[in-house]
Structure 1
Amino acid sequence: MDTQQNTALTRALAEVPGPLPTSGVIHISLPHTDRFTVVGNHLAQHPDLSCTAVGLAVRIQSLPQGTEISIKALTARCQEGERRIAAALRELEAHGYLQRFRHRLPGQKVITRTVFCNQPAALLRPRSQAPVAAPAQAPIPAPARSLTHVPDPDPDPAPVPPVPPVPPAPLPVPHPPPPAPPFVPLVPPPTAPKPPRPPLPQPGTLTPELDRAATALLSDLRRHAPEFTLSEGDIHHLAPAVATWLERDAHPDTIRRTLTDDLPQPLRHPVKLLKHRLTALLPPPLPGACDLAAPARPRVVVTPFQTCDDCDRAFRSPDPGHCRDCRETREHRGEDARVAA
């Protein structure tokens, strides 16, 4: 058995093109004909992913469409435990290879879908810059070099004229690939801080009439939608928000339809839904009469004409008096009088 293995290895090394390296790994690449998966070096040599995450990504990429890849399903397929698989999935999700999103089924049921992308950086490029894949061609197997000598069947072959050597064609100059765009995760990691929820609307002045009307509207919701059978504490908490709607001249029927129409099935958190709709769908205040009036045009101030008291010349000035020439003449006369004195 050792001799056969050494002979097979020697034959495979003899078929490696080019001189063998003096150190490091020696690759024996045999073409795959079935059951293979293409993996990019951006994943296989990713500088920030652990080997567990890279191996798990290769395992997920090799699975067919529709295969379950939850933590428990991957734990049953792999030798790693749930903690290592969960950590590897978080790494892949942080670097864009794995994405999770909510999907609503036709029956109003919400499920979590998982998407694996083999090239997350390519999703950020415009479609016009995406490389066009060349048509696949069947690999041409290279002729194997045998280690044994095969005798010539014809001992006296006819002489073959020498063939002049053909100069090798110049090799094309390889151009460096364009730099990849900076990696931007498409989905924020699960550890990212969530934005705070906006507070419930509050009226300018919660009068007893507004509070009474808002409380009655919330208590009457169960007649129109049995799902909204609220407790007294919930009604007391939501009453200021409904009072804000009433303060902005919203009709009670309009508020009731906004809160009870098009409900999700099943409705699991009615109070949270009311908070969301009272906050997100709050109408703006009605504009006043001054807001609806057309804006007044700016008034242009025209300086009136005045008549000079000395020369009767017309000039523009807000106050009557003397023109510029007469003022200058009077100033010169005053200077001469001071000099003579």
Structure 2
Amino acid sequence: MDTPQNTALTRALTELPGPLPARGVIHIAIRHTDRFTVVGNDLAQHPGLSTTAVGFAVRIQSLPQGTEVGIKALAARFPEGEKLIAAALRELEAHGYLQRARTRLPNGRIVTRTVFCNHPTALLRHRVAAAPHQPLPTAGPITTPTQASEPTVKPEASAEPEPEPQPTPDPVATPDPPAPRATPAQASAPPFVRLLPPPTAPKPPRPPLPRPRELTPELERISTALLSGLRRHAPQFTLSEEHVRELVPGVAAWLERDAHPDTIRHTLTTNAPEPVNYPYQFVKHRLTVLLPPPLPGAHDLTPPPARRNPVTPFQTCDGCERAFRAPTPGHCRDCRTEDEQQATAA
């Protein structure tokens, strides 16, 4: 049987404005009006979180406040196992998205309270700007003196239901529990670093089209014929006369570096995307980026002469026939010393 086609998706694809990319994902974005959750790219594209941890972070963020998000509760709701869920929660806790703390209620019960923050890096930056003289904790309770100016952190509690309180004359206020200390994984968790530049960042200028030292009539003729004949080998590389004139210096620079016309044609048309929407830009890019270096000359391929240190030859002493090194024949050092002593004594 044939694979069923989604005609609605195909129709929406044809209605997208502008040219579509030749490869990669194509987004069809439909604005939600109800039942949606806003997920930031700092979480969706976090380089330190696994896909499983990101998926559970999105699921926890989409649950209403007060929903139990413990390991057993998530395992009963979703198909993943408890070990996989526990590992994902540990990742979220290490990177500051999740905090689990044991809290004592006024009636004496001890429960585990789960707090989820959808953008912990923004929360940390806000705290540093509000109190730069205080040390920045990696994990701690959300209630702070500057809570009015901080983003709202929704505690999604997994606490047990509290029984009805008995009437007491004067309830004694219990102090807040001490802040839990940061675990080694939380203390050593690296801050979020953006790997991609923001969309508003200025793009580096493109390198110019290469040009020959001298555009001779012969180089211009061969380059024009090569560019005009590209459509014989690949119809998608049909260039206009104006584009051919602009690209002639780039082909001439290749020819000046002893590149064969067949090599240039093969480089420009091989492994091209389907289809080539902008052949002029594509050919210009390849002429610029794939420009080969000049061929080395005979002088460049000649190895440098080996540097040899002068070696003093061996000589035979005329007096004692001992071998010694000297540039010319004669007596060795001992015989010369003995002759000098005899001459001095005489």
**TM-score normalized with structure 2 length:** 0.45
Q: Which has the larger radius of gyration?
A: 1
